[in-house]
Amino acid sequence: MTIVTIPTQPFAGQQPGTSGLRKKVVVFQQPHYLENFVQALFDSLEGAAGQTLVLGGDGRFHNRAAVQTILRMAAAKGFGRVLVGRGGILSTPAVSCVIRKHRAYGGIVLSASHNPGGPEGDFGIKYNVGNGGPAPEKVTEAVHARTKELRSYRISDAAAPDFDRPGTATIEQTAVEVIDPVADYAALMREVFDFDAIRGLFARGFRVRCDAMSAVGGPYAKAILEGELGAPAGTVVNAEPLPDFGDLHPDPNPVNAEDLIAHMAAADAPDFGCATDGDADRNMIVGRNFPVAPSDSLALLAAHATVVPRYAKGLAGIARSMPTSTAADRVAQALGIPCFETPTGWKFFGNLLDAGRATLCGEESYGTGSDHVREKDGLWAILFWLNILAVRGGSVESLVRAHWAQYGRNYYSRHDYEAVDSAAANALMAELRAQLPGLAGQRLNERRVALADDFAYTDPVDGSTASRQGVRVIFEDGSRIVYRLSGTGTEGATLRVYLEMYEADPARQDVPTQTALAPLITAAGALARIEQHTGRATPSVVT
């Protein structure tokens, strides 16, 4: 076995976004493309020699080939040990769990999250640091800078070992240990939740339909829900991870998880519906004919957190991304704890969690988590809901309606305009930003603007800053319109428009969401001239 140096040339556009580097599979299949990025990453890591690296992904197309390459490059880098999930499989929250449990130097996650898979689909790679969370911007910026100057990469000429069976092999001086992808994560869930209470729920005949969307969450959900908690066989559907996700779009929202929505609207619907996404870090919760908005889910989990053993002593604080609705803020105020507003991207929660200033955190894009790991965690959220239902009783709908009655309802929706021409999307945002100084005091569709800005954030722990994180238009009645460009797509740009309106009166909390938000939707389209810039009269996806 020999470590060889391969000449290469830089590739343009290898800049990690909020969730790493995502491109089409065919882009990653180019000779040297993955190797260049991995070498740039390894060159940016100091003190990695002899350390432990965690490696795994969501099983999408190109996952196995990427694992083989990275194992050989990790050996060339001089890592002492690589923990790789059996079959190359590890969910994103499981990677975080394994890093933390084994005190690894860091980990590589191979996933494009909720993006489509298969040969024509998307692939992604991101790096998580020693706390288990996504690399901060200083690391991703260093990696990007290195990609632009790279002229060679180092790789072992040895064949990658078999990673389909547990055991340990060696490449060069690096031990490659194949681990059970579920074991460490399942052990952590036993510590967090009252498994006896949840077992009792299933023993009483409580029925669940959990759709893993043919993605990596399946093995975890089957092992825990069916294997440990006593849910009947078949509770978890689409449970086998497939390279193309069975032609499903592994994004757990009412549009893409339409099969789950249909089952939950049937006359014989289960008591509880749920889904996880491509890498199992997102979740969707559905009652009988009653989808739960992600922002409401975060707020409700916070309000009932003390029924879960890990959070029995209360929460230190809540953190939410800026576009996420302010429902969680109202719970935090009632509990007398802070609610932090951060930019979009899970990495911004890490410092708050590490410093003990926040316990629960969430994003509007079906991501919820806590200080048990440093990633959002889909199955954790599902177990949290089941723990609450086991203790509080009632149904999903009754819990949510009781929450609205106590705290008020935040009508909330996200309108996505996908694959928009990048130049047109940037022009739209530039035009919006130019209007900001004069918006305060103006009326938009009968609402007076109280504040209009481009959200900026100063981390209360380390003082780091992030600017230009999304345009906010906040009205005097607390309603909001937020515009931002997403970094998770692989074609063109995705314009996201977030709309929020608060309603305290329980008698007015049953209006269909899009009807309640209609005046804001009209105002948002007119202010940003969305149709004129994008050519789109309607959004691609409404959630």
- Express each pLDDT in 389-432 by its tens digit: 999 999 999 999 999 999 999 999 999 999 899 999 999 999 99
Q: 113-134 pLDDT, tens per residue?
A: 889 999 999 999 999 999 999 9
Q: 243-287 pLDDT, tens per residue?
A: 999 998 899 988 889 999 999 999 999 999 999 999 999 999 999
- Of 342, 308, 48, 116, the C-alpha closest to 195 is 308
Q: Within its chain, how far is the Cα of 160 from the centroid?
A: 30
537: its two tokens: 């009269």
Q: Greater confidence, 75 or 492? A: 75
% of the chain with per-residue pLDDT over 90: 93
Q: 305-323 pLDDT, tens per residue?
A: 999 999 999 999 999 999 9
pLDDT of residue 490 exceeding 70, the answer is: no
- Of 243, 200, 239, the C-alpha closest to 61 is 243
pLDDT of residue 372 exceeding 80, the answer is: yes
User: Mean pLDDT score of the chain, rounded to an integer?
Assistant: 96
What is the predicted pLDDT for the residue at 345? 86
* Ranges of H-type helices in 305-450: 327-335, 350-354, 378-392, 396-407, 422-435
Angle at which helix 327-335 crosses helix 396-407, to 10 degrees, equals 70
pTM to 2 decimals?
0.95
Give the mean model confidence (pLDDT) for residues 149-178: 96
408: its two tokens: 């008020």
pLDDT of residue 489 exceeding 60, the answer is: no
pLDDT of residue 380 exceeding 80, the answer is: yes
Q: What is the CA radius of gyration of the chain?
A: 23
Q: 48-105 pLDDT, tens per residue?
A: 999 999 999 999 999 999 999 999 999 999 999 999 999 999 999 999 999 999 999 9
Instruction: For the chain, list the domains and their CATH numbers.
Output: 3-181 (3.40.120.10), 185-407 (3.40.120.10), 409-542 (3.30.310.50)
| C-alpha span between 300 and 352 (Å, rounded) | 20
What is the predicted pLDDT for the residue at 35? 98
Q: 385, 285 in Cβ contact below 8 A? A: yes
Distances (CA, A) of 72 to 4, 55, 92, 107, 265: 10, 12, 22, 15, 49
Q: How confident is the model at residue 486 (pLDDT cuts 50, 70, 90)?
A: confident
Give the mean model confidence (pLDDT) for residues 324-340: 98
Residues marked active site are found at: 113
Q: 83, 23 in Cβ contact below 8 A? A: no
Q: How confident is the model at residue 17 (pLDDT cuts 50, 70, 90)?
A: confident
